[in-house]
Amino acid sequence: MMQQAKVLVVDDEEVVRRSYVRSLAGEHCNVEVAGNGQDALEVMGQRRFDVVLLDLLMPGMNGMAVLKTIKQKWPESEVVVITGYPAVETAKEAVTLGAYDYLAKPAGPDDIINAANGAMQHKKWALRRDEAVQCA
- The model's pLDDT over 48-105, given as tens digits with 9 standing for 90+, comes to 999 999 999 999 999 999 999 999 999 999 999 999 999 999 999 999 999 999 999 9
**Side-chain half-sphere exposure of 73, counting CA atoms within 13 A:** 16
- Which pLDDT does position 122 carry in this prediction? 86
Q: How far is CA 74 from CA 43, 49, 69, 79, 114, in A?
A: 12, 9, 8, 10, 22
- Which pLDDT does position 126 carry in this prediction? 65
Q: What is the reported pTM?
A: 0.89
Between CA 67 and CA 78 the distance in angstroms is 10
pLDDT bucket at 114, cuts 50 / 70 / 90: very high
Between CA 80 and CA 134 the distance in angstroms is 27
User: Degrees (nearest 5) of the Cα angle 62, 7, 109?
Assistant: 90
Alpha-carbon Rg for the chain in angstroms? 14
| Residue-number span of the structural domain to which 109 is assigned | 5-135
CATH number of the domain enclosing 37 = 3.40.50.2300
The structural domain count of the chain equals 1
Residue positions counted in the chain: 136
Helices (H), the chain: 14-24, 37-46, 63-73, 88-96, 109-135
- Which pLDDT does position 99 carry in this prediction? 97
- The model's pLDDT over 1-51, given as tens digits with 9 standing for 90+, comes to 445 789 999 999 999 999 999 999 876 789 999 999 999 999 999 999 999
- Which pLDDT does position 1 carry in this prediction? 40
**Side-chain half-sphere exposure of 56, counting CA atoms within 13 A:** 20
